[in-house]
């Protein structure tokens, strides 16, 4: 950081020193052109404050700055400052290893490379917080969640940022013609979003389906087998452009359902001896990827 930037940051450093538990104040230390890199700091505050002094392993996918060496890594530095006892890891498809410092380790590679991520996870071990802000493509968001959520430790938190591309039209039709000569704009039209708010291929609809899984014990559907995500997600928190998912043991019993069928006392109240007598049709419930 140059002398001018240090001088600009001095008031922020004083504020962050006086209010170290305020994540927004800490994030303001690391800015570029007056823009805080950690734009969701105010959302993360209530989720991360109870964990501040713990010894955690935090993985951030996407470091920022693209090939520009003057920016990038602001969020990593924010996490390092806010979590003084934690180890911060970063992944980026652009080589950002020059940003490494004490308690910040950076891996250079593609988040969709199975061998690359397997080696990283083998080295790091279980994680406590994962912040996904890498590829904006819906397919990549979904793959990342299915692959990385299982490696979270019990009580871990998974955050998916910048999911607005769920709502952008997919490549096809006239949309493909926009930005033909601009590779950056072309990448936008390949994001796999949809104008259909119920399109199952979008990351937002993946998270919507996970909400039902919170209540799998309440499904009236004999023979239903809960998925890994049914059993290991205890809450989801939705914000504008951000979803936060908590990992835990989702095993709270239902008051009326057991093994996805009505308990005998409920059947008795209905005046029947079995679920079959109700003449219900049970739709096949599509499982989340294991």
**Whether pTM exceeds 0.75:** yes
Residue 198, domain extent: 3-278
Residue 59 near residue 127, CB atoms below 8 Å: yes
CA distance 55 to 78: 16
* 69 located within any domain: yes
* 283 located within any domain: no
Residue by residue, what is the 3-state secondary structure of 183-249? HHHHHHCCCCCCCCCCCCCCHHHHHHHHHHHCCHHHCCCCCCCCCHHHHHEEEEEEECCEEEEEECC
CA distance 163 to 153: 24
Buried b (16+ CB within 10 A) or exposed e, 70-86: eebbbbbbbbbbbbeeb
What is the tally of structural domains in the chain? Answer: 1
CA distance 188 to 177: 12
* 288 located within any domain: no
* 58 located within any domain: yes
Segment holding 262, helix H or strand E:
strand 261-262
* 54 located within any domain: yes
* 123 located within any domain: yes
CA distance 161 to 183: 23
* 290 located within any domain: no
Reading the chain (290 residues) residue by residue, the pLDDT tens digits are: 555 555 555 566 666 555 668 898 888 888 765 444 578 999 999 999 999 999 999 999 999 877 777 778 899 999 999 999 999 999 999 999 999 999 999 999 998 899 999 999 999 999 999 999 988 889 999 999 999 999 999 999 999 998 998 998 876 556 666 666 666 666 666 788 888 999 999 999 999 999 999 999 999 999 999 999 999 999 999 999 999 999 999 999 999 999 999 999 999 999 999 999 999 998 888 776 65
The enclosing domain of 270 has a CATH number of 3.40.50.150
* 289 located within any domain: no
């Amino acid at each position: 950081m140059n002398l001018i930037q240090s001088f600009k940051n001095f008031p922020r450093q004083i504020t962050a020193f006086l209010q170290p538990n305020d994540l927004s104040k800490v994030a303001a230390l690391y800015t570029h052109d007056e823009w805080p890199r950690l734009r969701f700091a105010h959302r993360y505050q209530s989720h991360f404050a109870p964990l501040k002094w713990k010894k955690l392993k935090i993985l951030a996918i996407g470091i920022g700055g693209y090939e520009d060496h003057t920016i990038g890594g602001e969020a990593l530095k924010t996490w390092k400052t806010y979590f003084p006892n934690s180890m911060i890891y970063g992944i980026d498809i652009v080589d950002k290893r020059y940003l490494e410092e004490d308690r910040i380790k950076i891996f250079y590679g593609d988040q969709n490379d199975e061998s690359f991520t397997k080696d990283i996870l083998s080295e790091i071990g279980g994680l406590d917080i994962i912040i996904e802000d890498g590829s904006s493509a819906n397919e990549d968001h979904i793959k990342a969640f299915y692959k990385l959520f299982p490696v979270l430790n019990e009580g871990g938190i998974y955050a998916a940022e910048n999911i607005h591309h769920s709502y952008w039209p997919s490549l096809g039709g006239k949309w493909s013609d926009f930005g033909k000569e601009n590779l950056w704009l072309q990448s936008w039209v390949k994001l796999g979003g949809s104008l259909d708010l119920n399109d199952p291929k979008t990351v937002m609809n993946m998270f919507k389906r996970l909400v039902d899984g919170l209540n799998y014990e309440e499904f009236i559907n004999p023979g239903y087998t809960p998925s890994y995500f049914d059993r290991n997600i205890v809450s989801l928190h939705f914000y504008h452009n951000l979803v936060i998912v908590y990992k835990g043991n989702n095993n709270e019993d239902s008051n009326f359902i057991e093994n996805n069928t009505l308990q005998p006392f409920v059947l008795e109240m209905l005046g029947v001896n079995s679920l079959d007598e109700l003449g219900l049709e049970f739709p096949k419930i599509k499982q989340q990827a294991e």
